Chain A
Amino acid sequence: MAESALGWSLYEKIPSSLDVGHATIERLLAALQVNRWEGRDLFHIQLAIEEAMVNAITHGNKQAEDKVVEVEFRVDPLFTFMRIKDEGAGFNPADVPDPRDDDHLECTNGRGVMLIRELMSEVRYNGRGNEVTMIKHRSKEDQSAELSEDQEDLPAEN
């Protein structure tokens, strides 16, 4: 794992444990905050990675002790990359019914996949469907807020 004051990355294979999954997400969140991600963007990333991690551990690997989840994160102030791969059979995201359809609105499955797609800048699944790559570009409104904070740090002109 490479660390610096800004910019951070992680690559690990973790057991199919929700506790370990959440602890890994906490490390990502800490790096995001160091890299000044906040507000809506931070919320979107946290929700997407929660959904992806739970899907990999419970649906992909069925929480099997002999299966691991491959986790890769890369963070800098403008870009967050997340890749999650399980050892399950995979699935076709196109086969998941849209939970926003009137017929499925009160169903209790499928929202995670849809939320990932709606909240991330880019989403890619591998052919088998057991790996998801999610990319979030810092939104323009959060970039403006970042710029304002930097200007506040500048010394006052005489």
Chain B
Amino acid sequence: MTGDSMSDRRRMVVTKVGDLAIVKFSDRKIVDSANIEEMGEEMFSIVDKDKCKDVLLNFEGVEFMSSAALNKLILMDKRVKGVQGKLRLCNLRAEILEVFTITRLNRVFDIKKTEAEALKAFGISI
């Protein structure tokens, strides 16, 4: 899949496919407070600066995430909804998916098992 890589970020790699921004996280463990703050700012800038409305967060390779990271995802979801966009998540490890279920955040977020399923939901076929 080809796409345009978007501006330099430290906590993630962002690739654009059409109007969709696909995020892949750089950290296996999203737990450090400073890194989580940076992750939040970098995610928000996808909407605020890069003006992307549709965003896919691909958690492939992410082994651990604290509730502070979940908070950033909630804020990102609100930001995307604020511009009438759509946020989806994919490739969540089973233990992390369990946390979304325990917290009922699986009712807030649209979670797909694979990137292919998520892209299909965005109307993109590969």
- Contact yes or no, B95 A114, CB < 8 A: no
Given contacts A43-B64, A51-B67, A114-B103, 17 further A-B contacts (CB under 8 A): A18-B32, A40-B95, A40-B98, A47-B66, A50-B66, A58-B33, A99-B103, A100-B103, A100-B104, A105-B107, A105-B108, A111-B67, A111-B71, A115-B99, A115-B103, A118-B102, A119-B102
Say whether A77 faces chain B, with CB atoms less than 8 Å apart: no
Q: Are A22 and B67 in contact (CB under 8 A)?
A: no
**Alpha-carbon gap, A40 to B32, bound state (A):** 21
Number of A-B pairs, beta carbon distance below 8 Å:
52
B78 within 8 A of A: yes
- Per DSSP, chain A at the interface is helix
CB 8 Å contact bits of B65-100 with A (1 = contact, 0 = none): 011101100110110000000000000001100110
Interface residues, chain B, with chain A CB atoms under 8 Å away: 31-33, 64, 66-68, 70-71, 74-75, 77-78, 94-95, 98-99, 102-105, 107-108
State in angstroms the CA–CA spacing of A51 and B68 once bound together: 9
User: Which positions 93-137 of chain A face chain B at CB distance < 8 Å?
Assistant: 99-100, 105-109, 111-112, 114-115, 118-119
Interface residue tally on A, bucketed by range: 20 to 34
A108 to B31 CA separation, bound complex (whole angstroms): 16
Contact assessment for A111 and B70 in the assembled complex, using a CB-CB cutoff below 8 Å: yes
Let me know if A106 and B103 touch, CB within 8 A.
no
CA distance A80 to B71 in the complex (A): 28
**A21 CB, min distance to chain B CBs, angstroms:** 10
A54 within 8 A of B: yes
CB pair B103 A111 closer than 8 Å: yes
Interface string of A27-64 (1 = CB under 8 A from B): 00000000000011001101100110010001000000
